[in-house]
Amino acid sequence: MRTISYLEAIREAIIEEMKRDPAVFFMGEDIAAYGGAFGVSKGLLQLFGPERVRNTPMSEAAITGVAAGAAIAGMRPIVEIMFMDFITLAMDQLLNHATQYRYTSNGQIKVPFVLRTPSGGGRGYGSTHSKSLEPLLQGIPGLKIVAPSTAYDAKGLLKAAIRDDNPIIFIENKLLYSKVSEVPEEEYTIHLGQATIVREGSALTLVSYGRMLQESVEVVTQLGAAVEIIDLRTLRPIDIALITASVKKTGKVLIVEEGFKTGGLAAEIVAQIVERCFDYLDAPIKRLASEDIPIPCTPILEQEVLPNKSKIMKAIRELL
């Protein structure tokens, strides 16, 4: 099978969906002629023209509000927020508007748009361009959150997200953009809300997503340990059924995420595991996440703050 990068997979998904459905259009800061901060949308302007590939002013609130409005009016916008750190500027539109209309209109209004945004550290971008703010979005009813860890998942999930009738946050990890994996040329989508077991094992359930999932896979492969690795793929709603089935088998859990530890995604997953399969736990659940401090710019300090392979290895060893 051919291999393409995570970034190319995302671009392919956008192109295919824009070709398939004239209601799909793309907008964001510097995404047209420049091709976006990370080059995801390079070539899109030439393919679809300025009507469907639109630069916006530097206002995340405006971008998100316009997307929600266009979605209500029957369009299916894709928007790019240049860094996930800036999503706080779009919070009011997300939390108080876009995600509520479907409920408050008793289902009469649909708000189908996808907000793509790159997250995560590891490139020395410092505290305002390195965060993984997934947990901030966890508690928003009506929102779906998707975070692929491979090129294959990125394409399948993005296509499914564009076709979904709800506001969706699509989280892309910066360091994954260049990662290459097998992606078929044939059309496919991946159901939202479904996690997947990327490696089977009986001794420990490791739950992760995004870049940390890939780091975990490398560590476990190196250790050769009987660790079952679950890629969440969708962060909201969490596929708790798959997780609990695995926990019932292994009795031990490690959750690895790149966001801050306090109030993190892992905290929610731990709570749901304890609610559903307390009697199967054979050890305290372990969480591995970023330290609760702003992400430093200095690469050495940044590595200290973010989870990494050696921290994952240590956590696995402590549990096995």
Partner 1 sequence: MYTIILPKIEPNTEEATIVEWLKKEGDFVKKGEPLYVIETSKAAIEVEAEETGTLRKILVPEGKTVAVLSVLGVIGSEQEPLPDLSSFSAPPMGNKLELAEQAQKKMESQGPAPSLKASPAAKRVAREQGVELHQIPATGPEGRIVESDVWDYLKASEETGKNNQKGRVLIIGAGRGGEVVVDILLQNGLVVVGFLDDNETLWGKELLGKKIYGGLGLVDQLLSEKMFDSTIISITSNMKLRKKIYERMALKSIPFVNAIHPKADVNSSVELGKGNIIGAFAYIGYGTKVGNNNLITAHCNIEHHNTLGSHILFGPGVMTSGNVTIHDECSLGAGVNIEPHVTIGNNVAVASGSTVIYDLPPHTVLKREVKR
* Interface contacts to partner 1, rule CB under 8 A: 251, 278-283
Enumerate the β-bridge partners of residue 285. Answer: none
Q: Which two tokens stand for residue 198?
A: 């990327």
Q: CA-based Rg of the chain, rounded to a whole angstrom?
A: 19
Minimum distance of partner 1 from residue 230's CB (angstroms): 19
**Which one from 8, 17, 60, 172 is the annotated catalytic residue?**
60
Give the Cα separation of 160 and 313 in Å (integer): 34
Residue partners of 65: CB distance under 8 A and separation at least 6: 93, 97
Minimum distance of partner 1 from residue 272's CB (angstroms): 15
Minimum distance of partner 1 from residue 119's CB (angstroms): 34
Cβ neighbourhood burial of 41 (10 Å; 0-12, 13-18, 19+): buried
201 or 251: whose CB is closer to partner 1? 251
249 or 261: whose CB is closer to partner 1? 249
187 catalytic residue (yes or no): no
Give the Cα separation of 11 and 39 in Å (integer): 9
Minimum distance of partner 1 from residue 221's CB (angstroms): 25
129 catalytic residue (yes or no): yes
271 or 301: whose CB is closer to partner 1? 271
38 or 280: whose CB is closer to partner 1? 280
**Which one from 129, 215, 258, 268 is the annotated catalytic residue?**
129
Strand order in the sheet with 144-146: 53-55, 24-28, 76-80, 114-119, 168-173, 144-146, 234-236
Catalytic residues: 60, 129
